[in-house]
Amino acid sequence: MSTQTKFLLDESKMPKHWYNIAADLPKAAPPVLHPGTMQPVGPDDLAPLFPMELIMQEVSTEREVPIPEPVRDVFRLWRPSPLLRAHRLEKALGTPAKIYYKYEGVSPAGSHKPNTAIPQAWYNQQAGIKKIATETGAGQWGSSLAFAGALFGIQVTVFQVRVSFDQKPYRRALMETYGARCIASPSNETNAGRAILAQRPDHPGSLGIAISEAVEVAATNDDTKYALGSVLNHVLMHQTIIGQEAMLQLEMAGDDPDVIVGCTGGGSNFAGIAFPFIGQQLRGGGKTKQRRIVAVEPAACPSLTRGKYAYDFGDTAHMTPLTKMHTLGSTFTPPGFHAGGLRYHGMAPLVSHLKELGLIEATAYHQNACFEAGVTFARSEGIVPAPEANHAVLGAINEALRCKREGRSEVILFNLCGHGHFDMSAYSNYSAGKLVDQPYDEAELAMALSGLPGVPA
Amino acid sequence: MSTQTKFLLDESKMPKHWYNIAADLPKAAPPVLHPGTMQPVGPDDLAPLFPMELIMQEVSTEREVPIPEPVRDVFRLWRPSPLLRAHRLEKALGTPAKIYYKYEGVSPAGSHKPNTAIPQAWYNQQAGIKKIATETGAGQWGSSLAFAGALFGIQVTVFQVRVSFDQKPYRRALMETYGARCIASPSNETNAGRAILAQRPDHPGSLGIAISEAVEVAATNDDTKYALGSVLNHVLMHQTIIGQEAMLQLEMAGDDPDVIVGCTGGGSNFAGIAFPFIGQQLRGGGKTKQRRIVAVEPAACPSLTRGKYAYDFGDTAHMTPLTKMHTLGSTFTPPGFHAGGLRYHGMAPLVSHLKELGLIEATAYHQNACFEAGVTFARSEGIVPAPEANHAVLGAINEALRCKREGRSEVILFNLCGHGHFDMSAYSNYSAGKLVDQPYDEAELAMALSGLPGVPA
């Protein structure tokens, strides 16, 4: 127990570049298509929604993209985040494996989301933008962008799915404390929202509808842009600071991971920890250590393990461009479960592409097993993980138990992407035995998949 | 903005001793009295409640008390905690002062309380104790002891004031996630609780009643001890790791504080940051920099600024020993406000003694001003402080504004003792203009003070 627990990097060692995996891919990812023409989109097509710097990052193939100094200055508030060796968890499991976790819950918003919220807000500010509209489900992304907006003087409007708006008043209070405006979606502030409310005044909302509202506000107001918290290439790239730091910290620890585990919803925290290591393998050919990279998703919303790799829309209302990704169909509604950040019908195109290339594995777990892992983790390592992060915790635990069975002392690294302090009602329900492992509806999945736009490969 | 923000200590630099200010006091603090005999208590009087190692720490006059290695091993999960320079807050205030804050919200429970919960649990475990009973109001202390119990295999029972038990289910969920049992107080599990419930079945509870219940359980069960989260000498000493680390970190920053600010309820986080600096002054005589040490308390519960320095009981039911302290009277009931951790009628005897010796200052603020300071802090530094910590934030801001008026570039250090992620409903009420700055009732204070036991000085 006297070996080192925490590996800290001085802020002078914080990465100065994001890592862009597009530079190292053996084969480029399929292009993004315009929803009207079904032709590849150009930068100008995206200009109403994003500042040009972010659009250029979206399509960049440069390996290293500089992190602007004002962005690094904000990151210094919590970055470099700590890497910890889970000595007590290893002991509790009786495993010969070494388990490391990168802890992103130290950010002011409690998750990895500020890693991209800060640069997105900064690039918008540099482009003279005064307002950003976005959507949020449970609220991790909305509160992170609210935080970023407060620092860069940008007015943030968050369309929050109504059921979360009503059930999770604390995340909303966090957004408002940072000065953002939080609106229950569907709302009366957009055509998209009004159309839904006309049909059903008590509509509980969905991420798809909230996206439509935020996109509409950005598209119809010159002073307003849109921001997304996952899925897109530039968002995933912003998260690679996680994996780059982890690489330096594991060097300090004298270890090199055999297995890297992350949870996947839209794919950004997983990409953040995994892409720098995958890139190292891709560049090194056979000479670099070959690692297993494991994506863990909820069994109730299993895009990587049960979805189809096909072109699909990012939102329910089909206002967004089409991307080729593992999708359950944009009309698929997953059953209710507590990892709200993982309830998305599609997967980031880059993560999907890596899955197709055989560079990553994927597995899916139900929520009770994930919460059980989270409680085991909390009672040994202290930190109560976010429900999303519990998927990665369970993935890491299962790898460690495999090592125990096989008598192998592998090095396991996982991303603990956020703490669960805003999610204690879910733990409460778990403790009370009230959580149900509801499978998705096979018939609904078949229907949603049959409705895919059917763009030829 | 390019100067360093975060000062991190490697875990090898974590202090190996607690600092015991009793060694350096110009005059010893008055003795603790037995409630039956009114004579000074001896170690044996306290033995039913605490393990002997903690009792010896309570009366120790050794300057340095070693921190056991297994305790330091747990601390490595989050300690040394970061010291941050509040560049953005300084800019927002336009002050020439330098503001530093020590951030204790990085602990798994989100506050400084695990600094004493961990050693208390460990000393109990070493003494063969299997169970600890304690009380909690808002829940910071209860969740910290629950965390500590999980790590050392100790069964923790927490009597939580019923009104908090009902209003703050998330703190309770946190305690239960760590494996503790949380009981609404007054309860049917103790004579003290049953007596109260017989009079009033819907009694909302109070910290005084909860203390009585926990003490009763410990006193009447051989396998159970009691633990307190503040006030006592050994608890304050356990928190001095905060100030010792801050001293090393300020050396890294090349600065020496002119003013040190902490919030005070029972006094432990304030003592934690301030005592090592006060000790340095005491030992240095006139040769050391003379610093101002400012305690900030709630105007609705102002023990240091409006209480009487006199012998009083620690609980409402008068089961505890008597200590000389600044007290509002053990029957005083403060009006409701949101910094639950500061709603205590008395002040730590050591903090009270230092106040009498003229070594510290005290000031009191109402809650709306504190929340305003907390929002200013959140929008510049990102972290949303706990309502208790907002008192220290306002104290630091007021010192910085004084520096601005006086054109002085002083160095201000304050203790940000916890984050507010469990307190967002208070922020929500503040934003909605629903918080009232309710003064305490002067007549009630007079009555409570007239009921002091009247032990001769």
**Which ranges of A32-168 would DSSP assign to H, the alpha helix?**
43-46, 52-59, 69-75, 87-93, 114-126, 140-152, 162-167
Question: Which of B16, B78, B372, B393 is the best substitution to test chain A (most A C-beta atoms within 10 A)?
Answer: B78
Check pLDDT > 70 for residue A5: yes
Which one, of B379, B393, B380, B395, lies nearest residue B431 by Cα?
B379
- Residue of chain B nearest A380, judged by CA positions: B151
Residue type, B58: E
CB contact under 8 A, B424 and A2: no
Q: Is it true that the peptide bond before A439 is cis, omega within 30 degrees of 0?
A: no
Are B314 and B226 within 8 A, CB to CB? Answer: no
Among the partner residues B1, B70, B77, nearest to A382 by beta-carbon distance: B77
Q: What is the pLDDT of residues A153-209, one digit of tens each?
A: 999 999 999 988 988 889 999 999 999 999 999 999 999 999 999 999 998 888 888
Among the partner residues B178, B375, B384, nearest to A378 by beta-carbon distance: B178
Gap from B141 CA to chain A (nearest CA, Å): 15
Are B240 and B271 within 8 A, CB to CB? Answer: yes
Check pLDDT > 50 for residue A444: yes
- Residue of chain A nearest B75, judged by CA positions: A5
A1 falls in which pLDDT band (50, 70, 90)?
very low
CA angle B92, B94, B100 (to 5 degrees): 70
Which residues in chain B are contacts of A180 at CB distance < 8 A? none
Provide CB contacts within 8 A for B396, sequence distance 6+: B99, B101, B261, B412, B414
**Which ranges of B320-438 would DSSP assign to H, the alpha helix?**
349-356, 367-381, 387-406, 424-431
List residues bridging with A342 in a β-sheet.
none
Question: Which of B3, B5, B122 is the best substitution to test chain A (most A C-beta atoms within 10 A)?
Answer: B5
- Residue of chain B nearest A91, judged by CA positions: B151
Structure tokens at B76: 């490595």
What does the alpha-carbon distance between residue B307 and residue A218 come to, in Å, rounded to a whole number? 57
Check pLDDT > 90 for residue B208: no
What does the alpha-carbon distance between residue B234 and residue B20 come to, in Å, rounded to a whole number? 8
The listed range with the strongest mean pLDDT (A137-141, B210-214, B232-236) is B232-236
3-state secondary structure of A148: helix
What does the alpha-carbon distance between residue B347 and residue B367 come to, in Å, rounded to a whole number? 19
Check pLDDT > 70 for residue A2: no
Q: Is it true that the peptide bond before A26 is cis, omega within 30 degrees of 0?
A: no
Q: What is the pLDDT of residues A203-261, one digit of tens each?
A: 888 888 899 899 999 999 999 999 999 999 999 999 999 999 999 999 999 999 999 99
The lowest-confidence range among A77-86, A256-265, B36-45, B160-169 is B160-169
| pLDDT at residue A288 in the model | 80
H or E segment to which residue A325 belongs: strand A322-327
Are A89 and A383 within 8 A, CB to CB? Answer: no
Phi, psi angles (nearest 5°) of residue B384 = -90, 115
Check pLDDT > 80 for residue A456: no
CB atoms within 10 A of CB A438: 14
3-state secondary structure of B238: helix
Q: What is the pLDDT of residues B281-337, one digit of tens each?
A: 999 977 788 899 999 999 999 999 999 999 999 887 788 899 999 999 988 888 877
Q: Is it true that the peptide bond before B201 is cis, omega within 30 degrees of 0?
A: no
Which residues in chain A are contacts of B428 at CB distance < 8 A? 169-170, 172-173, 176
| pLDDT at residue B457 in the model | 59
The DSSP line for A181-249 is EEEEES-TTSHHHHHHHHH-TT----HHHHHHHHHHHHHH-TTEEE--SSSSHHHHHHHHHHHHHHHHH
Structure tokens at B17: 């001793």
Among the partner residues A10, A109, A379, nearest to B179 by beta-carbon distance: A379
Do strands A6-7 and A83-85 pair parallel, antiparallel, or not at all (unpaired)? antiparallel
ipTM of the complex, rounded to two decimals: 0.95
Residues listed for chain A: 457
Q: Summarize the confidence of residues A84-96 as an average pLDDT.
A: 98
Among the partner residues A8, A107, A179, nearest to B8 by beta-carbon distance: A8
3-state secondary structure of B291: coil
What does the alpha-carbon distance between residue B259 and residue B248 come to, in Å, rounded to a whole number? 16
What is chain A's mean pLDDT, rounded?
94
B344 falls in which pLDDT band (50, 70, 90)?
confident
The lowest-confidence range among A3-7, B178-182, B382-386 is A3-7
Do strands A155-161 and B17-19 pair parallel, antiparallel, or not at all (unpaired)? unpaired
Calculate what percentage of chain B has a pLDDT beyond 90.
86
Check pLDDT > 90 for residue B51: yes
Contacts 24+ apart (CB under 8 A), A446-452: A447/A329, A447/A331, A448/A328, A448/A329, A448/A330, A448/A331, A448/A332, A448/A345, A449/A307, A449/A308, A449/A327, A449/A328, A449/A329, A449/A332, A450/A329, A451/A329, A451/A330, A451/A331, A452/A308, A452/A310, A452/A311, A452/A312, A452/A327, A452/A329
Torsion of CA A44, A47, A51, A54, to 10 degrees: -60
- Residue of chain B nearest A69, judged by CA positions: B2
H or E segment to which residue B241 belongs: helix B240-253
- Number of A–B residue contacts, CB under 8 Å: 147
Gap from B25 CA to chain A (nearest CA, Å): 35
Q: What architecture (CATH level 2) is domain B6-13+66-110+234-450?
A: 3-Layer(aba) Sandwich (3.40)
Among the partner residues B106, B173, B431, nearest to A177 by beta-carbon distance: B431
CB contact under 8 A, B76 and A5: yes
Which residues in chain B are contacts of A389 at CB distance < 8 A? none
The lowest-confidence range among A97-111, A331-345, A350-364, B300-314 is A331-345
Among the partner residues A6, A171, A375, nearest to B76 by beta-carbon distance: A6
Q: Summarize the confidence of residues A407-413 as an average pLDDT.
A: 98
Tokens 């403060």: give the residue.
B334
Which one, of A311, A348, A313, lies nearest residue A331 by Cα?
A313
- Residue of chain B nearest A425, judged by CA positions: B170
A285 falls in which pLDDT band (50, 70, 90)?
confident
| pLDDT at residue B341 in the model | 79
Which residues in chain A are contacts of B431 at CB distance < 8 A? 173, 176-177
Gap from A179 CA to chain B (nearest CA, Å): 8
B1 falls in which pLDDT band (50, 70, 90)?
very low
Are A414 and A321 within 8 A, CB to CB? Answer: no
Question: Which of A12, A14, A76 is the best substitution to test chain B (most B C-beta atoms within 10 A)?
Answer: A76
Q: Which residue has the higher pLDDT, B149 or A287?
A: B149
Among the partner residues A69, A382, A419, nearest to B2 by beta-carbon distance: A69
Are B230 and B271 within 8 A, CB to CB? Answer: no
Calculate what percentage of chain B has a pLDDT beyond 70.
99
- Residue of chain B nearest A92, judged by CA positions: B151
Tokens 């970055």: give the residue.
A79
Gap from B121 CA to chain A (nearest CA, Å): 14
- Residue of chain B nearest A145, judged by CA positions: B382
CB contact under 8 A, B169 and A375: no
Cβ burial of A270 (10 Å; 0-12, 13-18, 19+) is buried
Residue type, A29: A
| pLDDT at residue A218 in the model | 95
Do strands A155-161 and A181-185 pair parallel, antiparallel, or not at all (unpaired)? parallel
Q: Compute chain B's Rg from CA coordinates.
A: 21
- Residue of chain A nearest B2, judged by CA positions: A73
| pLDDT at residue A457 in the model | 60
Gap from B223 CA to chain A (nearest CA, Å): 22
Residues listed for chain B: 457
| pLDDT at residue A344 in the model | 86
| pLDDT at residue A339 in the model | 78
Among the partner residues B84, B173, B425, nearest to A424 by beta-carbon distance: B173
What is the Cα A401 distance to its own chain's centre? Answer: 26
Are B98 and B412 within 8 A, CB to CB? Answer: yes
List residues bridging with A325 in a β-sheet.
A310
Report the phi/psi class of residue B30: left, alpha or beta, with left for phi > 0 and alpha for psi in -120 to 50: beta
Are A142 and A150 within 8 A, CB to CB? Answer: no
The lowest-confidence range among A22-26, A408-412, B161-165, B247-251 is B161-165
CB contact under 8 A, B431 and A150: no
CB contact under 8 A, A380 and B425: no
Question: Which of A87, A421, A423 is the best substitution to test chain B (most B C-beta atoms within 10 A)?
Answer: A421
CB contact under 8 A, A173 and B379: no
CB contact under 8 A, A384 and B428: no
Which residues in chain A are contacts of B171 at CB distance < 8 A? 424
What does the alpha-carbon distance between residue B282 and residue B272 come to, in Å, rounded to a whole number? 16
CB contact under 8 A, A425 and B173: yes
CB contact under 8 A, A1 and B431: no
CA distances in angstroms from A45 to A55, B249, B423, listed in the order given: 10, 50, 43
CB contact under 8 A, B150 and A378: yes
Structure tokens at B58: 């309570």
Which residues in chain A are contacts of B109 at CB distance < 8 A? 382
Taken in order A115, A117, A120, A123, is the CA torsion positive or negative? Answer: negative
CA distances in angstroms from A385 to A33, A108, A110, A141, B308, listed in the order given: 37, 15, 10, 17, 45
Gap from B165 CA to chain A (nearest CA, Å): 13
Calculate what percentage of chain A has a pLDDT beyond 90.
86
CB contact under 8 A, A77 and B382: yes
CA distances in angstroms from A442 to A306, A327, A335, A447, B321, listed in the order given: 10, 14, 11, 9, 66
Q: Summarize the confidence of residues B84-112 as an average pLDDT.
A: 98
Q: Is it true that the peptide bond before B321 is cis, omega within 30 degrees of 0?
A: no
Taken in order B424, B427, B429, B435, is the CA torsion positive or negative? Answer: positive
Question: Which of B73, B74, B76 is the best substitution to test chain A (most A C-beta atoms within 10 A)?
Answer: B76
Residue type, B270: F
Check pLDDT > 70 for residue B2: no
Cβ burial of B438 (10 Å; 0-12, 13-18, 19+) is middle
